Structure 1
Amino acid sequence: MRLRYTRLSERVRYYERYIPFAIAICMMPLGLALVGSAPILGVLIALLGLVGTLIGISDLFQTSHALMRNYPLSSRMRYLLEHFRPEIRQYFVEDDHAETPFSREQRAVVYRRAKGIEGVRPFGTLRNVYSDGYEWLNHSMATPHLDGQDFRIRIGGPDCRKPYDSSVVNISGMSYGALSPNAIEALNRAALAGGFAHTTGEGSISRYHRMGGDLVWQIGSGYFGCRDHDGGFSPDLFQKVAADDAVKMIEIKLSQGAKPGHGGILPGPKVTEAIAEARGVPVGVACVSPSSHSAFSTPRGLCDFIKLLRDLSGGKPVGIKLCVGHPWEWFAMAKAFHQTGTAPDFIVVDGGEGGTGAAPVEFADHKGAPLRDGLMLVHNTLVGLGIRDRIKLIASAKIITAFDICRISALGADGVNMARGFMFAIGCIQAQACHTGKCPTGITTQDRDRYRALVVPDKAQRAANFHRATMYALKEACESSGLTHPDEFTPHHLMIRTGPREVRSAASLYDWIQPGALLAGKVVHPAFAKYWDRAGIDDWKMLPAS
């Protein structure tokens, strides 16, 4: 009896998977039967049944998906829920502080500031202040009053004839092509209104960048905007573009967090006429950045290239952007800066967590040093060589709030670049569809029907509002800590909980090198002990152990 019952149960479970298909089939005669008494309802039911039946038949006879073949029609619900899973998780499931990749709280802060909405919070913090890793800034009993909030840093070393007084918060590099024309135009207009800089991204300067805002011209391994017919660097073209008064600084892109190789493939492989115009490439062909620069091949060569760009630009600040990888490669660059006497005016340190428009999961999750680790290594190296005072450090990776700026300033940064923060300000909803060309807000797409919905004047004002509100919050953070400028934050101001009953400052938690210590050979920091003597300025490779 039990065996017969088991077999019956198995047969029922076998046919359960066809129930939605069977219901769809039954809906057709049911709908036709209702046509006489309820015509509209009957026709609607019959049509739904017909559509469901056709889909079920298609599922039964297709050979691409075993799940759809075994579960005709009902398996479609799984794919539908899977399609909307990121949105369901983001809006209804995840915690407000879950940074995947940016938390709901971070996005809400940007949206409120961009729209000019008051952002105060009642009832205190929602964070567990006794959990490991919780951070805070010490405040002062002697607080100054600051009249302004336009914090500036002067970028330009001793060899720079046209230094630039930069805001401490600027727009990070996002190319036209990766972003839509309306998005680029809105960001540049915001830079003009707010008095801050707009980094072009390695796609060079497009017509949409020329709205009056200050520009940082980023040059990658593809040399877009200053390339010859063979894809190499063209000094003549560079000099012509760099002479533009809107170009305030030049940034050599060496590497980026989470991006394949050094240059990688730029988003949107088939370029339009406007993209081709900006990048100096043929219309309609694949637009690829080589994995490495052809204008130099050694750390010493990088120094020569920096000097060349500074001379060709008439003495404008020239810097580099990198995500720290092999320590000996960075040490080789730093040694070259010191030994040749030619150093960049600024270094943008990108974090591996910063990401890009699209990257393989292996790169997004496991390539490149995180921002704090990379920044502190760069800062310590320059301090140890005694050249930190001539090079400004700009941090770039998942920086949103004034606390983020203060924290990274305490760890060695002079200023910050933001990408996602300004994208949120002009309407990004973190749909994570940047690589598809189907951005729902029209920010990361070249689809005219999508990006024309992004109204430039309104979005430009919102981006300017966000910058202004962030700078005001930064002013209040400085005042409350007894400081007059963000560059006065030190590791002693940043406190980090390391256990339920233990708190340490960043000054005691991390290793900090004393000025000139590398020159004196008095460094016991493990990274320097392992790799410093194995870095040379005439090759990127690690030298044999002595």
Structure 2
Amino acid sequence: MNDFLKLLAVIPWWGWVLLCVILLAIRDVFFNKKHTITHNFPVVGHFRYMLESIGPELRQYIVANNREELPFNRIERGWIYASAKNQNNYEGFGTDRDIYESQYIFINNAMIPYKVPKDHPNEKDPYFLPCAKVMGSFNNRRKPYRPASIINVSAMSFGSLSAKAVESLNKGCKKSFAYHNTGEGGLSPYHKNGADVVFHFGTGYFGVRDDNGNFSMEKMKQLVQDNPQIRAIEIKLSQGAKPGKGGVLPASKITKEISEIRNVPLNKDVLSPPNHSAFNSIPELVDFIEQIAEATGLPVGIKAAIGKIDQWKELATLMKKTDKGPDFITIDGGEGGTGAAPPSFADHVALPFVYGFSDFYRLFKDFELTDRIVFIASGKLGFPAKAMMAFAMGADCINVAREAMLSIGCIQAKVCHNNSCPTGIATQNKWMQAGINIEDKAERVSFYFKNFKKEVLEITHACGYRHPCEMTMDDVDINLGDKSLTQPLANTYGYNKVKVPFDTIQSMRDCPHLGGEYNELNATALLNQKEIRY
């Protein structure tokens, strides 16, 4: 035995390496039953799988150019990061975009820009930019609501996002006077840090479900009564990432906390079916909306991705006939992506925002319903120029999801669906979450929103307007290719936006239904918190 140990001791290090390589080769050739590459090319075949596994990182940081990546390229991510850190987000030496490419957006500036007069709200607070419409005003809800910010956080659930990520977003929304949509995972303690909340639920009715998984009006009433920060309720019909597809929350992901928030059992998979059990038709949906609005007093809206238009026509017909229906409608583009989905759904089901919204708005314009609905736009619109196009098309507010995630440190690793997010944002892994500094990330959210609104206002003034709601379909051109050249949105999509009733920014400031606990003291504190560096 001692002689054998002495023999092992004199084997050089390279001998051990050679021995390991030989053993690996034997394993690959004689015992490998799964991988043809490593069987046919023992040892070296493993390098192929190693390179494949880090391929996305190599392309993201080394191979891809600044405008090449999807869903957000390096320039777009860089603008959000710089804005969120309150750093210089300008670029020098002119644009590096191909401004002759198809679908390129051109915003038509005025010869003489709008000049902000003295004693104007935007002179005191250049980031004050509320929604031009009031949710629930047409249907006389008991508690109408005017969002105090035109940019807000879209539906992302606690459970999909980590506790620290949700808390960071909520505190950032409070600083920005924005609302925070809960997503369909229920109202968590992390949504209760001062921001306005839009309570969102889907087919699972998480947080407002009975023991059988059906919707409970009593629980909804109690939830709203106990949480006055809930300013509106949103019913999810579908989402851009996977419209018409349900989901499963595996038992392994259901912690005691998630079980209590969502009112679901531990140690059991929870199904979110494709269909609602509370209604089965358009008339039943309208009745359901009215019942919730009557029970809670809050504005009630719906969220959906757009595909077929026939059922939307049925809804519009019923709304016109009865003067009932949703107070706001969130249109989610098919390019949405916070929900993990099969590529067949994510790539092909539902129209992108510009196509879906134009079909939808044109229909509701034909029924003369645009004045009674707040239109919320979602789908990669967290950039000022894209947002201005959405306002020109008829949007009243912008919801952002992935852009908000980027503002708190998301690096677009694209592993949200397997609980291994390296930034701690889209994971329940406690170690990964430990790196999130909530106060710092909340400040970044507020600065991203602050800089977003600043640029939107500057573009608005450059176009000669006071508020982006005054943008028209003739204020934005789109490049249709060499033969059609550029055309105004009105020519491209076949309608003109209905003029939004607008008085003054000051009248919005004085609105009794203005959300976000907006007041001069809070606004001044945010304004003086840190000056933007240029």
Which category describes the TM-score, using the shorter chain as reference length? 0.7 to 0.9
- 1:45-124 maps to which residues of 2 (within 5 A)? 45-60=14-29, 61-124=31-94
- 1:387-466 maps to which residues of 2 (within 5 A)? 387-466=369-448
Superposition deviation, residue 372 in structure 1: 0.9
Given that 2:374 and 2:396 are in contact with CA atoms closer than 8 Å, whether structure 1 keeps it comes out as yes
Residue 242 of structure 2: aligned partner: 259
Q: Please list the CA deviations of residues 495-527 of structure 1 after superposition, one character each: whole Å capped at 9, or x if unmatched.
A: 112234722111112211797xxxxxxxxxxxx
Residue 150 of structure 1: aligned partner: 128
Determine which of 122, 127, 131 is the counterpart of 2:101: 131
Aligned residues: 477
Q: Relative to 1, partners in 2 of residues 1:50 and 1:190: Cα closer, same or farther, differing over 3 Å?
A: farther
Given that 1:113 and 1:466 are in contact with CA atoms closer than 8 Å, whether structure 2 keeps it comes out as yes
- 1:290-309 maps to which residues of 2 (within 5 A)? 290-309=273-292
Residue 514 of structure 2: aligned partner: none
- The separation in 2 between residues aligned to 1:510 and 1:293, in whole angstroms, is 32
TM-score, scaled to structure 2: 0.86
Query: Partner of 2:146: helix, strand, or coil?
Result: strand
Q: Please list the CA deviations of residues 11-69 of structure 1 after superposition, one character each: whole Å capped at 9, or x if unmatched.
A: xxxxxxxxxxxxxxxxxxxxx99x98xx9xx53x3444344333333222211111111
Q: Relative to 1, partners in 2 of residues 1:339 and 1:264: Cα closer, same or farther, differing over 3 Å?
A: farther
Letter in 2 for 1:400: G
Given that 1:322 and 1:348 are in contact with CA atoms closer than 8 Å, whether structure 2 keeps it comes out as yes
Letter in 2 for 1:150: F
- The separation in 2 between residues aligned to 1:267 and 1:150, in whole angstroms, is 43
1:347 has 2:317 as partner: no
Given that 1:157 and 1:391 are in contact with CA atoms closer than 8 Å, whether structure 2 keeps it comes out as no
Query: Partner of 1:130: helix, strand, or coil?
Result: coil
- 1:158-307 maps to which residues of 2 (within 5 A)? 158-159=138-139, 160-166=141-147, 167-243=149-225, 244-259=227-242, 261-266=244-249, 270-307=253-290
- The separation in 2 between residues aligned to 1:267 and 1:200, in whole angstroms, is 20
Residue 517 of structure 2: aligned partner: none
Superposition deviation, residue 145 in structure 1: 3.1
1:506 has 2:489 as partner: yes
Given that 1:156 and 1:317 are in contact with CA atoms closer than 8 Å, whether structure 2 keeps it comes out as yes
Query: Partner of 2:375: helix, strand, or coil?
Result: strand
Q: Please list the CA deviations of residues 136-171 of structure 1 after superposition, one character each: whole Å capped at 9, or x if unmatched.
A: 101112212342332112222322221112111000
Q: Please list the CA deviations of residues 72-131 of structure 1 after superposition, one character each: whole Å capped at 9, or x if unmatched.
A: 111111101111111111222223222411111111111101111101111000012223
Work out which structure has the larger RCO, using CA pairs closer than 8 Å and 6 or more positions apart in sequence: 2
How large is the Cα RMSD of the aligned pairs? Answer: 1.9
Q: Relative to 1, partners in 2 of residues 1:59 and 1:316: Cα closer, same or farther, differing over 3 Å?
A: same
Q: Please list the CA deviations of residues 362-397 of structure 1 after superposition, one character each: whole Å capped at 9, or x if unmatched.
A: 001100111111111221111111111010111111
Indicate the percent of aligned positions where both proteins have the same amino acid: 38
Given that 1:250 and 1:316 are in contact with CA atoms closer than 8 Å, whether structure 2 keeps it comes out as yes
1:311 has 2:317 as partner: no
Superposition deviation, residue 422 in structure 1: 0.6
Superposition deviation, residue 264 in structure 1: 2.9
Q: Which has more radius of gyration?
A: 1
Letter in 1 for 2:129: F
Given that 1:255 and 1:263 are in contact with CA atoms closer than 8 Å, whether structure 2 keeps it comes out as no
Residue 535 of structure 1: aligned partner: none
- The separation in 1 between residues aligned to 2:249 and 2:105, in whole angstroms, is 36
Query: Partner of 1:499: helix, strand, or coil?
Result: coil
TM-score, scaled to structure 1: 0.84
Letter in 2 for 1:197: Y
Superposition deviation, residue 339 in structure 1: 2.0
Please list every run of 5 or more consecutive structure 2 residues that lacks an aligned counterpart in the other structure: 1-6, 117-121, 499-534
Given that 2:337 and 2:402 are in contact with CA atoms closer than 8 Å, whether structure 1 keeps it comes out as no
Q: Please list the CA deviations of residues 425-468 of structure 1 after superposition, one character each: whole Å capped at 9, or x if unmatched.
A: 11100000001111100111111111121121111111111111
- The separation in 2 between residues aligned to 1:349 and 1:267, in whole angstroms, is 29
Residue 536 of structure 1: aligned partner: none
Given that 2:243 and 2:305 are in contact with CA atoms closer than 8 Å, whether structure 1 keeps it comes out as no
1:482 has 2:469 as partner: no
1:336 has 2:314 as partner: no
Query: Partner of 2:480: helix, strand, or coil?
Result: strand
Given that 2:197 and 2:229 are in contact with CA atoms closer than 8 Å, whether structure 1 keeps it comes out as yes
Determine which of 474, 478, 481 is the counterpart of 1:492: 474
Residue 526 of structure 2: aligned partner: none
Given that 2:240 and 2:350 are in contact with CA atoms closer than 8 Å, whether structure 1 keeps it comes out as yes
